[in-house]
């Protein structure tokens, strides 16, 4: 719990300190995390050299300074293009903080401070957040910003953020600018790891904006796999239509789901099963992928595309439809699909997941509910929660944790109450800082 409170304090302090106009177009934010590296990304209006200051959270707390500095030369590509810099030689199972400094003749421009963690050893709890279908809010309150701010201010600890596709309405600079503005605070919390939706259209801007875990397909980045302590997550692209690419993804899934990790997840955009009144189950992924997931003993598959929440159990595999990131909600049909245990309409939400020595713990957190005329904030109401507990024979052995390492499971559970005062005390300052930043 101390870890997440410290990170929130750092981000709150810097959010207030750099509230003036900034030359950053997007970011900074992190991606492609591993046990010893991460990629820091940003886009700026300046063709100037820069540097990344970074270090462990423990060092920053002790010295009020960053431990390391990495110089970055002046870019030759277009200024609007996102710049990616890989930090290597990091320590495993460590929490880091960072910021980007743009160096101008008139002085230096500092970004806000972001945070990331490197992959832990087996036996360590892992937390992550899942959302999908952010797309575009065309009228009324900015639901995307509501979801992004809720995740940014979430008092629980998480290692990374997964997105199930349809990040933007269309892959043009207008929509990307709007999306990054809505989710800037969230992107500072942890590395962002998306998969392609149909709205991204496999456009080059998707690959320009995000660095992904090791993968395959187009430029080895169209689908990927993340191995993270006791967790493996396979990200696929269900927009592909060729038999060759489908077979390649089937083989990719089998290979990466065959490891020793006790907690197995898959994420891709189009749902295998859904009670969506408009789409239904028409994509044939129940034939293409479901047998592989059953054979590989996958725990949970995250899908978007359908703009509602649903939890479906088929042959021991849990399918979660999580298309509630801000896009316009849709209705489900009255006769829900076989295995549909929970189905909720008209909410904007995200999912948080914790894996520990006991198994997997999942909560779906509502942000707002659509009425006939508007959206009403729900202040974190839990619309679904469940656990998948491991048999005693499959529980991994615990490993010793160094000072400043991940919170205990108890700390994760009680962080809501303890962090409540801290988070909401700084909420006004963060909101004002973001508004001033976006009004440049």
Q: How confident is the model at residue 198 (pLDDT cuts 50, 70, 90)?
A: very high
Give the pLDDT confidence score for residue 404 in this predicted structure: 34
Q: Give the CATH number of domain 2-119.
A: 2.60.40.10
Give the pLDDT confidence score for residue 426 in this predicted structure: 41
Asked if residue 77 has pLDDT above 70, the reply is no
Give the pLDDT confidence score for residue 319 in this predicted structure: 98
Asked if residue 400 has pLDDT above 80, the reply is no
Average pLDDT rounded to a whole number, residues 88-113: 94
Lowest mean pLDDT among 86-95, 386-395, 401-410: 401-410
Asked if residue 424 has pLDDT above 50, the reply is no
Tell me how far apart the alpha carbons of residues 428 and 425 are, in angstroms, rounded to a whole number: 7
Give the pLDDT confidence score for residue 192 in this predicted structure: 98
- 274-324 residue pLDDT tens: 999 887 655 789 999 999 999 999 999 999 999 999 999 999 999 999 999
Query: pLDDT averaged over the chain?
Result: 85
Rounded (5°) CA angle 316-317-321:
140
Domain ranges of the chain: 2-119, 126-413
User: Class for domain 126-413, per CATH?
Assistant: alpha beta
Q: Give the number of residues written for the chain.
A: 440
- 242-263 residue pLDDT tens: 999 999 999 999 999 999 999 9
Give the pLDDT confidence score for residue 403 in this predicted structure: 32
Lowest mean pLDDT among 48-57, 85-94, 279-288: 279-288
- 7-16 residue pLDDT tens: 554 554 444 3
Average pLDDT rounded to a whole number, residues 38-52: 90
Is the pLDDT higher at 251 or at 419?
251
- 199-222 residue pLDDT tens: 998 889 999 999 999 999 988 999
Is the pLDDT higher at 330 or at 424?
330
Asked if residue 402 has pLDDT above 60, the reply is no
Q: How confident is the model at residue 137 (pLDDT cuts 50, 70, 90)?
A: confident
Is the pLDDT higher at 7 or at 418?
7
Give the pLDDT confidence score for residue 395 in this predicted structure: 62
Question: Secondary structure of the chain in the HEC alphabet?
Answer: CHHHHHHHHHHHHHHHHCCCCCCEEEEEEEECCCCCCEEEEEEECCCCCEEEEEEEHHHHHHHCCCCEEEEECCCCCCCCCCEEEEECCCCCCCEEEEEEEEEECCEEEECCCEEEECCCCCCCCEEEEEECCCCCCCCCCCHHHHHHHHHHCCCCCCCEEEECCCCCCCCCHHHHHHHHHHCHHHHHHCCEEECCCHHHCCCHHHHHHCCCCCEECHHHCCEEEEEECCEEEEECCCCCCCHHHHHHHHHHHHHHCCCCCCEEEEECCCCCCCCECCCCCCCCHHHHCHHHHHHCCCCEEEECCCCCEEEEEECCEEEEEECCCCCCCCCECCCCCCCEEEEECCEEEEEEEEECCCEEEEEEEEEEEECCCCEEECCCCEEEEEEEECCHHHCCCCCCCCCCCCCCHHHHHHHHHHHHHHHHHHHHHHHHHHHHHHCC
- 223-236 residue pLDDT tens: 999 999 999 999 99
Asked if residue 352 has pLDDT above 60, the reply is yes
Tell me how far apart the alpha carbons of residues 418 and 413 are, in angstroms, rounded to a whole number: 10
Give the pLDDT confidence score for residue 360 in this predicted structure: 98
Q: How confident is the model at residue 372 (pLDDT cuts 50, 70, 90)?
A: confident
Average pLDDT rounded to a whole number, residues 128-137: 93
Average pLDDT rounded to a whole number, residues 26-31: 96
């Amino acid at each position: 719990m101390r870890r997440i409170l410290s990170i929130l304090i750092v981000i709150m302090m810097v959010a207030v300190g750099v509230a003036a106009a900034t030359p950053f177009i997007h970011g900074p934010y992190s991606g492609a995390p591993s046990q010893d590296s991460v990629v820091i990304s940003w886009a700026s209006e300046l063709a100037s050299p820069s540097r990344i200051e970074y270090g462990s959270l423990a060092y920053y707390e002790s010295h009020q300074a960053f431990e390391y500095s990495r110089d970055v030369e002046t870019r030759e590509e277009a200024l609007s293009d996102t710049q990616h810099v890989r930090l290597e030689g990091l320590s495993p199972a460590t929490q880091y903080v960072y910021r980007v400094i743009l160096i101008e003749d008139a002085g230096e421009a500092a970004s806000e401070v972001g945070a990331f963690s490197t992959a832990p050893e087996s036996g360590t709890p892992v937390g992550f957040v899942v959302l999908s279908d952010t797309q575009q809010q065309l009228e009324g309150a900015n639901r995307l910003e509501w979801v992004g701010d809720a995740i940014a201010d979430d008092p629980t600890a998480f290692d990374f953020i997964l997105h199930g596709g349809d990040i933007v309405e269309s892959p043009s600079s207008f929509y990307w600018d709007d999306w990054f503005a809505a989710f800037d605070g969230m992107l500072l919390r942890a590395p962002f790891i998306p998969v392609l939706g149909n709205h991204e259209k496999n456009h080059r801007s998707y690959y320009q904006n995000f660095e992904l875990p090791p993968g395959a397909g187009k430029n080895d980045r169209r689908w990927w796999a993340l191995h993270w302590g006791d967790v493996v997550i396979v990200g696929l692209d269900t927009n592909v239509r060729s038999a060759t690419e489908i077979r390649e993804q089937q083989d990719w899934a089998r290979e990466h789901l065959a490891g020793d990790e006790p907690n197995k997840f898959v994420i891709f955009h189009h749902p295998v099963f859904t009670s969506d009144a408009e789409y239904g189950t028409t994509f044939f992924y129940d034939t293409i992928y479901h047998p592989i997931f059953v054979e590989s003993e996958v725990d949970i598959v995250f899908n978007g595309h359908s703009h509602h929440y649903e939890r479906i159990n088929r042959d021991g595999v849990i399918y979660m439809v999580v298309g509630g990131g801000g896009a316009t909600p849709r209705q489900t049909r009255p006769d829900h699909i076989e295995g549909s245990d929970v189905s909720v309409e008209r909410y904007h939400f995200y999912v948080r997941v914790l894996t520990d020595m006991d198994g997997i713990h999942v909560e779906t957190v509502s942000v707002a509910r659509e009425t006939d005329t508007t959206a009403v904030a729900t202040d974190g109401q839990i619309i679904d929660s469940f656990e998948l507990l491991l048999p005693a024979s499959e529980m991994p052995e615990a490993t010793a944790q160094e000072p400043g390492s991940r919170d205990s499971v108890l700390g994760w559970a009680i962080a809501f109450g303890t962090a409540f005062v801290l988070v909401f005390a700084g909420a006004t300052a963060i909101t004002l800082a973001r508004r001033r930043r976006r009004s440049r």
